Amino acid sequence: MRSPAVGAAALTLLLVAWLSPIAAWAQDASSLPRVRLVATGGTISNRTGGRLTAEELVKSMSGVERYARPEFEQFANLASSELTLDQWLGIARRLNEVFATDPEIAGLVVTAGTDTLEELAYFLNLSVRSDKPVVVVGSMRNPSTLGYEGAANLLEGFRVAASQEARGKGVLVVLNDEINAAREVTKTDALRLNTFQTRGYGVLGVVDADRVVFYRTSLKRHTAKSEFDVSSLTKLPRVDVILVYQGADGDLIKAAVDAGAQGIVMAGAGAGATSGTQQAAIAYALRKGVLVVTTTRAGSGRIAPPRRGPDAPPPSAGSSAAIPLTPEERLRRIAGEDLAPVKARVLLMLALSKTADPKEIQRMFSEY
């Protein structure tokens, strides 16, 4: 007959064998990186009958526990066009606060509406002072629509935020299995799922079934290396974007200046050409102390700073250089480099929050 001691020992061995995989899984789960969702709203939350909360969004991600320990908080739950610039400042301060007070957090995911996602993402790229990943995600279809891709985009955003390789790459935009840099990405289609693209440069990487893969990185200054500190900033300066089109009247530029704009971004034709009476209005803005940034409406291409000095080419007829201006006034004309007009506005707002020196602001446009 088997003794009670032998029976108890056998039972113990069976229990250990049964519980060991569970204990190992629990240990593995506890070692996964912590990633927090900071939800702001957008189509990804816009369910018929009421918006999904941050908690509901996290629960919609099947399999997230394989990659990260998810957390969540609700910052706002609005359409992207309803977010104010003051809320932009609040989001940036909140992300900086999380990184400063919770050193164990691996990364953050921010949900946003796709209509203005690229603007918010670039603002965070300039104002979040950490090399830990910040990933902005959204969706083109709402949760009540057949083919809703929000949960998949969110899961991929968590995977990228949990990835060690994502550190130091700036704010990232993740949708449709692709990783793009916040500085470079543009919404290119009003409806299609592959709308977010980086023209000319291509994606930073992809999110595949087996792993997150990066192919390149952005060399421009951002995040931890940024000089912009929004911790005590209460208001962003007013900057307006004016489109160039055939026979455009300069009155819109003058109206923006008279309404208090500190900066104007011109979405120029081709390599920055204007039309109609816009050049005279630009001269009006420069004389009033307003900075004018030249960009292109073409979708890609670099606007280089003008050549100055004795070897500079003569001004063409009708150009702002042909209009009588002082050297100081001419310096207020800033080259927007390869930034899209809406992103040039973001950078100019932050630049003007630090300085009105046009040489310094031109430096910022070259570095960021």
Domain locations along the chain: 28-225, 239-367
Q: Which of 202, 224, 65, 200 is nearest to 131 (CA)?
A: 224
Task: Please give the pLDDT value at position 21.
Answer: 47
**SS3 assignment, position 28:** helix
Task: Please give the pLDDT value at position 137.
Answer: 98
* Residue 95: DSSP 8-state: H
- All residue ranges of the chain with pLDDT < 70 are 1-28, 308-322
Burial class (CB in 10 A: 0-12, 13-18, 19+), 253: buried
Fill in the amino acid letter for 132: K
Q: Which of 192, 191, 196 is nearest to 206 (CA)?
A: 196
Task: Please give the pLDDT value at position 22.
Answer: 42
Task: Please give the pLDDT value at position 154.
Answer: 98
**SS3 assignment, position 275:** coil
Phi then psi for residue 250, to 5 deg, are: -75, -5
Task: Please give the pLDDT value at position 306.
Answer: 83
Contacting residues for 66 by C-beta, under 8 A, at least 6 apart: none
Q: Which CATH number fits domain 239-367: 3.40.50.300, 3.40.50.40, 3.40.640.10, 3.40.50.970?
A: 3.40.50.40
Task: Please give the pLDDT value at position 322.
Answer: 65
The answer to whether residues 313 and 337 touch, using CB atoms and an 8 Å cutoff, is no
Task: Please give the pLDDT value at position 126.
Answer: 98
The answer to whether residues 199 and 104 touch, using CB atoms and an 8 Å cutoff, is no
As a whole number of Å, the CA-based R_g of the chain is 25
Q: How many CB atoms lie within 10 A of CB 7?
A: 10
Q: Which positions are annotated as active-site residues?
A: 43
Contacting residues for 242 by C-beta, under 8 A, at least 6 apart: 252, 253, 256, 264, 265, 266, 267, 278
Q: E-assigned strands of 229-352? A: 239-243, 263-268, 291-296, 333-335
Q: In the chain, what is the straight-line distance between the N-terminal and C-terminal CA atoms, in Å?
A: 81
Which two structure tokens, joined as six digits, stand for 160? 């990228």
Q: Confirm whether 28-225 and 239-367 share one CATH topology.
A: yes
Task: Please give the pLDDT value at position 7.
Answer: 58
Strand partners, 237: none
Q: Which of 194, 220, 186 is nearest to 342 (CA)?
A: 186
Under CATH, what is the fold of the domain 28-225? Rossmann fold (3.40.50)
Contacting residues for 77 by C-beta, under 8 A, at least 6 apart: 39, 40, 41, 45, 51, 53
Task: Please give the pLDDT value at position 311.
Answer: 57
* Residue 141: DSSP 8-state: S
